[in-house]
Amino acid sequence: MTKTVLIVDDSSTVRQQVAMALKQAGFATTEAGDGLQGLTMIDGSKTIDMVICDVNMPNMNGLEMIEKVKAKPQHKSLPILMLTTEGQPAMIKRAKEAGAAGWIVKPFDAGQLVAAAKHLTKT
Amino acid sequence: MGTLSESLARQISQMTLGTTMQLAKYLHLPAEITPFEQRYLARLNKIALVFFWLHIPVFMVVAWAANTGPWLALLLGVAVLAGPTFAYRTLSNPRAISVIYGVTAMLMGGLLVHFGQGPVQIEMHFYFFALLAMLCMFANPMVNLAAAVTVAVHHLVVWLLLPASVFNYNAQWWVVLVHAAFVVLETTAACYISREFFDNVIGLEKIVQARTKTINEKQRDMRLILDNVQEGLITIDLEGRMSSECSQVILTWFGAPAPDLTLAAWLGQVDAAFGEWLALGLESVRDGMLPQAVTIAQLPARIRHGACTYEVHYQLVGNVAADAEAGVHASAAEKILVIITDISERLRQQASERHQAEMLQLFQHMMRDKAGFVEFLTEAEELMRNVTTGRYDSLDHLRRLVHTLKGNSSIFGMRRLAELCHEMESGIDQERVAPDPTAIANLQLAWTEVRADLEKLLGERRRNAIEIEDADYAAILRAVIKGVEPAIVTRMIESWVLEPTSKRLVRIEQQIKGLAERMGKSHVSVAIEANDIRFKSEHFAPFWSAFIHVLRNVVDHGIENADERQQRGKSAQSHIKVATSVEHDRFVVTVEDDGPGVDWDKLRARADQLGIAGVELMDREALMFLEGVSSKATVDEMSGRGVGMTAVREVCERLGGTIEVSSKSGVGTCIRFAFPKDQSVYEGHPAILRRAG
């Protein structure tokens, strides 16, 4: 069964790059432009198997989104992968504690992104 | 036949010889005596000698009981022990003493059998076998062999000469053979035990020594590599704990670590950000939420230490490689090989090469368009000042300042500066915080360097020399030869210090393309038409400076997206044309696009919305140039310079110019700036000559 990945990033270029890499590896993707939109989509959908999110976004940043998502019992097992620059270890640390699976440093390697996605969605 | 049997015999004899040699080698110990063997044999030889002397009272008692003469037992015993005692005192080789003891032991056995004559004389023979076995303690087959030979000779000789000394009955020759067979059997086993005892116990020290030597050699080789390799090599476990060995160069770079420090803590003292990321990254490698190959690739790759930069690679080591080779799913690695390379020199070299290339480009740009270049410098200087001294209203404003600087820098080929700006811009985009002071300092430094380079290049310009193009020179020559009136020739010469609009238009073309790219409208082609016109730079400088707003407006509103163009039946490519011309007594600058045209009603409504008084009375031009002012973004970006779209109009008016806007819905817009054609404008040699007739 095709797995669906939600990509949350305020940069359409990054979303496009991530989506392209995942689609080529056989994933279906859906996109959100900020944390707030991402949160709404996660809550409203039952088909999202994994989330890839940026850390710095307007309206609601990645950390806040992860904390809000993971606070809900129904999302406890939803894997979330962060895309980040080597800038904010404190933020990443908190996100990990909140329940994020891990992170990939930007500019990311498509192969690694796909490997992580496959691992997290068990495909 | 004879030959066959001969060769067979030869072969057999060769084989026999080979086996004998092997046997001899087995029985004869290697010459070297280790200190351990020396100590062992010295002790054992001493004990054995005491043991032999203790036989004498026993023999005397036995002789007394068997009535064979205790005093004779004393005499013969002392006679036999004189030899080994002398050997013990004089010989330096402990093995030689042991061999003599082998002989001694059997002679002592013979004495016991002799003095033990009577009903238990045969039982006394057990002592030979007990002694033969005990001799294995010397760990030397030669001792066993010497004993065996002695007992054989002893039995044979004594049986022949004095049978009562060995047998208490009339033993036949085959009885002697039976005794001999037992001796041979025991000796064979005893030799084997002695040799094995020697090889594996007494020689153990030698084995250990040999292994230690090999290990030391290997370690020495390894140390040699580690001491001389230019890469920093160290292994860590998944907790970040370091192995005891690392290449020397790491210690030279970062100093010796305090004991029990993790790699992250150690290198964190050098580069805090690196240490923090490494600790965090290793946690992620350990928790196993993602494949190790992925998490390991996220570990930090650069260490910055003073003026040096190091590149760091991580490689999983342990069973991983072997598993992969065996085609087994790789099990989790327990160690990471960290490879650190000093790339400072490489970076410096790259920077220097880039610097040279940039200098060349700068030079070319300057040669092509000096006026534009100087203008760029002035503008960039101001942008830099705003960025570095915090003269901006908001993060977005800062981002735009940096973006403008980036665009300008790349137009003039200053890649390093453009890259730094790009990094800073992306940083602001992603982090949504102002760049840290280091980034700003780096930008400032890059700018200072560029300035210094430019000073060198511009030094030339400061001589106030005028460069004359070949075409100018030819034209003036022709005019003089033809006798053109002096006033015209003077005018032609004066034009040398004016700026050709052609160069200005090339720059404008680049600006439009840059703006279009930034606004995501790269499907635009730009045409320029200079018409050989020149103008006085200082006079028109304020106009050109404000002109960027017109261009932004055109790119923003004058280019529809591709779908809209298709719906209107237009080509996918948008066209913008900028031209300079002289029409009658006016110097005209036009900007034309083939976009959607101006939606006047919407514009009027928007201006109305903004509460601008008297909108309904305004003409179209006034309205249009209000729009720019009311756009927040424009005000922000230009606030530092105090110009906006209104400024364009003001400048125009100050220069005695007019603005006309003609627009047709769905077809395009043309904005026309017309200035009086006075001394500050020159319409080109052909036109002026034509007019002079």
The rounded Cα B668 to chain-centroid distance in angstroms is 56
- Round to whole Å and give the CA distance between B231 and B235: 13
Cα–Cα distance for residue pair B429/B399, rounded to 1 Å: 8
Which of the 8 DSSP states describes residue B200? I
Nearest to B294 among A85, A86, A112 (CB): A112
Query: Which stretches of chain B drop beneath a pLDDT of 50?
Result: 321, 327-328, 627-643
Own/partner contacts of B322-325, CB < 8 Å, gap of 24 or more, are none
Which pair of tokens denotes residue B139?
């760990």
Residues in chain B: 693
Residue of B292, B426, B430 to mutate for A, most A C-beta atoms under 10 A: B430
Distance from CA of B284 to the nearest CA of A (A): 7
Tokens at residue B323, please? Answer: 């598993």
B290 Cα to chain A: minimum distance (Å): 6
Q: What is the mean pLDDT of residues A1-14?
A: 89
Nearest one of B346, B632, B368, B633 to B505, comparing CA atoms: B368
Distance from the Cα of A119 to chain B's closest Cα (Å) equals: 7
- The two most distant CA atoms of chain B are separated, in Å, by 168
Residues 6 or more apart from A82 whose CB is under 8 A from it? A52, A53, A54, A55, A62, A66, A92, A95, A100, A102, A103, A104
B383 and B420 in contact (C-beta within 8 Å)?
Answer: no
Distance CA A35, CA A41 (A): 10
Q: What is the DSSP string of B414-465?
A: -HHHHHHHHHHHHHHHHH-SPPPHHHHHHHHHHHHHHHHHHHHHHTTGGG--
Q: Can you tell me the distance from the alpha carbon of B166 to that of B156, in angstroms, rounded to the nearest whole number? A: 10
Do residues A97 and A120 lie in contact, with contact meaning Cβ atoms separated by under 8 Å? no
| Cβ–Cβ pairs < 8 A, chains A and B | 58
Nearest chain A CA: its distance from B575 CA (Å): 26
Write down the pLDDT at residue B554: 86
Per-residue CA distances from B400 to B83, B99, B340, B385, B637 (Å): 110, 101, 38, 14, 7
Measured between beta carbons, the chain A residues lying within 8 angstroms of B427 are 85, 87
CA distances A44 to A48, A63, A74, B532, Å, are: 10, 20, 12, 65
- CA–CA distance, A62 with A64 (Å, rounded to integer): 5
CA–CA separation, B97 vs B629, rounded Å?
A: 117
Long-range contacts of residues B198-206, Cβ cutoff 8 Å, at least 24 apart: B198/B29, B198/B139, B198/B140, B201/B139, B202/B34, B202/B36, B202/B37, B202/B40, B202/B139, B203/B34, B203/B37, B204/B36, B205/B34, B205/B35, B205/B36, B205/B37, B206/B32, B206/B34
Residues 417-446 of B with CB under 8 A from A: 427, 429-432
* pLDDT at residue number B644: 57
In degrees and rounded to multiples of 5, residue B313 shows phi and psi of -115, 150
The rounded distance, in Å, linking the Cα atoms of B1 and A116 is 83
Using CA atoms, how far residue B4 sits from A16, A17, B1, B12, in Å, is: 90, 87, 5, 12
pLDDT value of residue B384 = 86
What is the percentage of chain A residues whose pLDDT exceeds 70?
99
Q: What is the pTM of this model?
A: 0.55
Torsion of CA B603, B606, B611, B613, to 10 degrees: 10
For residues B570 and B488, give the distance between their C-alpha atoms in angstroms, rounded to a whole number.
Answer: 47
Q: CA B619 → CA B294, B543, B655, distances in Å?
A: 64, 22, 20
Chain B partners within 8 Å of A85 (Cβ): 427, 430-431
Nearest to A112 among B287, B297, B429 (CB): B297
Q: Give me the mean pLDDT over the A11-25 stretch.
A: 90
* Contact criterion met (CB < 8 Å) for A102 and B297: no
**Predicted ipTM of the assembly:** 0.90
